[in-house]
Amino acid sequence: MKVLITGGAGYIGSHLVDALIRRGDEVLVIDNLSTGKIENLRHLLGHPAFHFINDSILNESLLERFVPSMDLIFHLAAAVGVRNILQDPLAAINTNVRGTEVVLGLAFKYWKRLVLASTSEIYGKASHVPFREDDDRVLGSTAVARWS
């Protein structure tokens, strides 16, 4: 199977890459290394079934070259980390919203299966752990940038 992983140099993405390579899949990672680390994938550089492109999911023409040949897409790329989001909220929104729009649009255009990952931030200020998917969401005041 040919698999595209956006954000594949991150912690979760790199472990997914390892599992897919062990399974015998061919894997293409597109990651701009803004929060992911090439060290997470260094052991695969040169592996015949692994390909890495250091670029952004906002580069639609790049993605358009590869999506048609993929069997499956894992979309893990995102601006992450509260500090990063607060320091440059416009870039975070652009990456997370527009970038996801690009990936979803191409997956739809070429009828590709896609797994879309989320984040624990979706649970807001939950008072208990572990979180459950059917828990209510509690967000803080919109006067606090994190919740606006």
Query: Helices then strands (H, E): number in the chain?
Result: 5, 5
Q: How confident is the model at residue 22 (pLDDT cuts 50, 70, 90)?
A: very high
Over range 94-114, report the average pLDDT: 97
Q: Are 56 and 29 in contact (CB under 8 A)?
A: no
Domain residue limits, the chain: 2-117, 124-148
pLDDT at residue 27 above 90?
A: yes
| 72-75: strand order across its sheet | 50-54, 26-31, 2-6, 72-75, 113-116
When computed from its CA atoms, the radius of gyration of the chain, rounded to whole angstroms, is: 16
pLDDT at residue 148 above 70?
A: no
Q: How confident is the model at residue 134 (pLDDT cuts 50, 70, 90)?
A: confident
pLDDT computed for residue 141 by the predictor: 83
pLDDT computed for residue 54 by the predictor: 98
Over range 35-45, report the average pLDDT: 97
The Cα 78–Cα 11 span in angstroms is 13
Which CATH number fits the domain 2-117, given the four candidates 3.90.1300.10, 3.40.50.720, 3.40.190.10, 3.40.605.10? 3.40.50.720
pLDDT at residue 3 above 90?
A: yes
